[in-house]
Amino acid sequence: MTAAIDIPANSEIPGDALQPSVYELRLFTAAEYQQLAGLGIFGEDERIELIEGRIVRMTPKNVDHAVATRRALRIFSRAAGELALISVQDPILLNDRSEPEPDVTLVAGPDTKYLEHHPAPNDIFLVLEIADSSLAFDREVKGPLYGRNGIRQFCLLNLQDRELEDYRDPGPHGFRGKQTYGEDEAFSLVAFPMISIKVGDLLPPKPAGKHRQKEERRRNKRK
């Protein structure tokens, strides 16, 4: 769950001055980012992550997101807790310029492997992002980033449409395979094919009013 920092509306910086052809961004490496954090440059409660050299602020978690995160932790712990470490909103090191903090990550144990570094793609079995207002960013920016860096399975839990997008087969341009599952369907884990997770078990309970809104969106998509 992430959203890029916006330039304030009252900024005195001219809009055309923000075009890449006019200026060059000074991107951070993961090592520099970690040094800044160690120096206390960022607040302890500041929710940020490093995405392709840019420090990005994560959107606040609403109630549905918090509920889905707790449910995902419980479900994955029960299903795969003996096979993997279940990490919640902890950093992973994708490359020299990207250190995102996925909502849920399944990583290879033991935890003593990560005393001096964060899990890297070869250590990671699955990444789950839970998205509501951050849906476009998670799908269009973070998803391809995970694929380009070799994450074997990326799941995007879409709280708006109550679906799960399952991305597999990573490659140089992102993921080559995608399957979308409704809340009454289940998906398997690439690393552990014998494990099946029902999408509805990850989603927060839905009031009747939200159900009607979802059905209305689906009807509008068909038009």
Least confident stretch, 30-44, 110-124, 158-172, 201-215: 201-215
Answer whether residue 136 is part of any domain.
yes
Answer whether residue 1 is part of any domain.
no
Do both 48 and 74 map to the same domain? Answer: no
CA distance 29 to 212: 46
Answer whether residue 106 is part of any domain.
yes
CA distance 167 to 178: 4
pLDDT in tens, 104-122: 999 999 999 999 999 999 9
159 three-class SS: coil
Answer whether residue 204 is part of any domain.
yes
Do both 82 and 41 map to the same domain? Answer: no
Q: Which two tokens stand for residue 162?
A: 């109550």
Answer whether residue 5 is part of any domain.
no
Do both 124 and 207 map to the same domain? Answer: yes
Do both 145 and 73 map to the same domain? Answer: yes
Expressed in percent and rounded to 5, the helix, strand and coil fractions of the chain are 30, 25, 45
| Domain extent for 68 | 63-222
Do both 39 and 144 map to the same domain? Answer: no
Do both 131 and 198 map to the same domain? Answer: yes
pLDDT, mean of residues 134-142 = 95
Contact partners, residue 198, CB within 8 Å, separation at least 6: 184, 185, 186
Do both 170 and 186 map to the same domain? Answer: yes
The residue among 132, 76, 134 whose CA lies nearest residue 104 is: 76
pLDDT, mean of residues 9-13 = 50
The residue among 65, 109, 115 whose CA lies nearest residue 87 is: 109
Q: What is the pLDDT of residue 193?
A: 97
What is the number of structural domains in the chain?
A: 2
Answer whether residue 10 is part of any domain.
no
Do both 48 and 90 map to the same domain? Answer: no
pLDDT, mean of residues 175-190 = 98
Amino acid identity of 175?
F
